[in-house]
Amino acid sequence: MLKSNRIKKAFIAAAVVVCMAAGATGLAAYNVDKITGIAAYRGYSGSFHPLVLLGANRDTINSALITAVTEGHKVTAGNLIDVGADPNWKSGWPLMVAANQGDTATTKLLLDRGADIHALDESALRMAERNGHVDTARLLREYSAKHQRSSGPT
**Is there a domain that residue 81 lies in?**
yes
Expressed as residue numbers, the domain containing 118 is 87-148
Phi, psi angles (nearest 5°) of residue 124:
-60, -45
The CATH number given to whatever domain includes residue 124 is: 1.25.40.20
The CB density around residue 124, as the number of other CB atoms within 10 Å, is: 32
Residues 6+ apart with CB under 8 A from 134: none
Boundary-marking domain end, from 85, 100, 128: 85
In contact, 107 and 140? CB cutoff 8 Å: yes
pLDDT in tens, 46-90: 778 877 877 788 899 999 999 999 999 999 999 999 999 999 999
Instruction: Please give the tally of structural domains in the chain.
Output: 2
Provide the pLDDT confidence category of residue 109 given band limits of 50, 70 and 90. Answer: very high
Mean pLDDT over residues 13-20, rounded?
A: 63
Closest Cα partner for 147 from 110, 108, 117, 119? 117
Residues 6+ apart with CB under 8 A from 12: 50, 54
1 and 68 share one domain: yes
In contact, 95 and 107? CB cutoff 8 Å: yes
Identity of the residue numbered 3: K
Residues 6+ apart with CB under 8 A from 135: 102, 104
Provide the pLDDT confidence category of residue 154 given band limits of 50, 70 and 90. Answer: very low
101 and 130 share one domain: yes
31 and 44 share one domain: yes
Q: Does the pTM exceed 0.75?
A: yes
Boundary-marking domain end, from 85, 106, 121: 85
